[in-house]
């Protein structure tokens, strides 16, 4: 899983770094030489479409999809488990819903040979097919986690289920931040000496 996470994150970063450089060059060229390459906006849209699907998947893996945890910790473990299971299954449901209904969008683009209303007139199916593949990836990942949660719930392994699927608490986030801060500090002391 760690490897998949890294590959997806690399892809995500690559998309947005590339976009940033393109936009920066475009903006400078526009301002200094009055030349517009155009399409920075359009490209930004496609970057978001592709990048977002990667980020949805990564947020499933990292348990980052926001859940309000004000009541959660007060509930008995069994109820927590039920809610954790339900959340996981419903998130998978959301992913499947998006994939199902968005098939129509892709099909329309194929049927009408739709192009973007821009100077580039990009055939929409190009970005959309990558986007749709990303959405399928998101759904597969969410379903995988939901199946795992269901198996744990059915076999009564409540402690493991709660451990793996509880809402990410501020405490956890903070622990990660503090660890990273300590590491940065070590690095800066290391480079200073």
Partner 1 sequence: MSVEATTLAAFGVMIALMLIGIPVAVVMMAVGVGGGLLLYGPSFLQSAAAVVWSVLNDSLLTGIPLFVLLGELLLRSGMADRMYVALAAWLSRIPGGLLHTNIGCCALFAATSGSSVATAATVGTVALPALSARKYPIRESLGSLAAGGTLGILIPPSVNMIVYGSLTQNSIGKLFMAGVIPGLLLTFCFMGYIFAASLWRGERRQESVPPLADRLRLLIHLVPPLAIFGIIMGSIYLGIATATESAALGVVAALLLAWLSGRLSLALLRKCFVQSAKISGMVLLIIVSAFVLNLLVSLSGVAGHLTKWVTSFGLSSVEMLLLLIAFYLLLGMFMDAMSMLVATVPITYTLVTAMGVDPIWYGIFIILMCEMALISPPVGMNLFVVQGVRPDKGGIDDVAWGVLPYLVIMILFTCLLMVFPGLATWLPQTV
Tell me which of 1, 3, 68, 190 binds partner 1, using CB under 8 A.
Answer: 68
**Window 147-166: residues binding partner 1 (CB under 8 A):** none
Q: Phi/psi at 123 (nearest 5 deg)?
A: -60, 120
Distance, in Å, from the CA atom of 19 to the CA atom of 116, rounded to the nearest integer, reads 18
**Window 34-53: residues binding partner 1 (CB under 8 A):** 40-42, 44-49, 51-53
- CB contact set of 185 (below 8 Å; sequence gap of 6+): none
6 is a site residue for partner 1 (CB under 8 A) = yes
**Window 111-150: residues binding partner 1 (CB under 8 A):** 127-128, 131
CA distances from 193 to 157, 189, 190 (A): 50, 6, 6
Tell me which of 37, 94, 140, 164 binds partner 1, using CB under 8 A.
Answer: 94
- Stretch binding partner 1 (CB under 8 A), from 82-90, 144-152, 154-162: 82-90
Tell me which of 36, 38, 77, 173 binds partner 1, using CB under 8 A.
Answer: 173
| Size of site (CB under 8 A) for partner 1 | 78
Cβ atoms of residues 164 and 146 within 8 Å: no
Task: Give SS3 for 192.
Answer: helix
CA gyration radius for the chain? 22
- Stretch binding partner 1 (CB under 8 A), from 66-74, 147-155, 156-164: 66-74
């Amino acid at each position: 899983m760690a490897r998949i996470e890294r590959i997806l994150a690399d892809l995500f970063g690559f998309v947005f770094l590339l976009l940033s450089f393109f936009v920066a060059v475009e903006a400078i060229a526009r301002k200094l030489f009055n030349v517009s390459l155009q399409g920075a906006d359009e490209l930004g849209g496609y970057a978001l479409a592709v990048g977002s699907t990667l980020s949805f998947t990564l947020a499933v893996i990292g348990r980052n999809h926001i859940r309000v945890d004000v009541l959660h910790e007060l509930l008995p473990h069994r109820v927590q488990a039920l809610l954790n299971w339900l959340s996981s299954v419903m998130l998978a449901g959301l992913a499947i819903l998006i994939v199902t209904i968005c098939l129509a969008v892709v099909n329309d683009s194929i049927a009408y040979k739709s192009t973007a209303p821009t100077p580039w007139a990009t055939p929409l199916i190009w970005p959309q097919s990558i986007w749709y593949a990303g959405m399928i990836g998101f759904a597969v990942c969410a379903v995988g986690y939901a199946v795992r949660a269901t198996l744990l719930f059915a076999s009564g392994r409540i402690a493991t289920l709660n451990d793996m699927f509880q809402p990410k608490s501020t405490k956890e986030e903070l622990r990660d931040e503090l660890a990273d801060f300590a590491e940065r500090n070590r690095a800066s002391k290391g480079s200073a000496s």
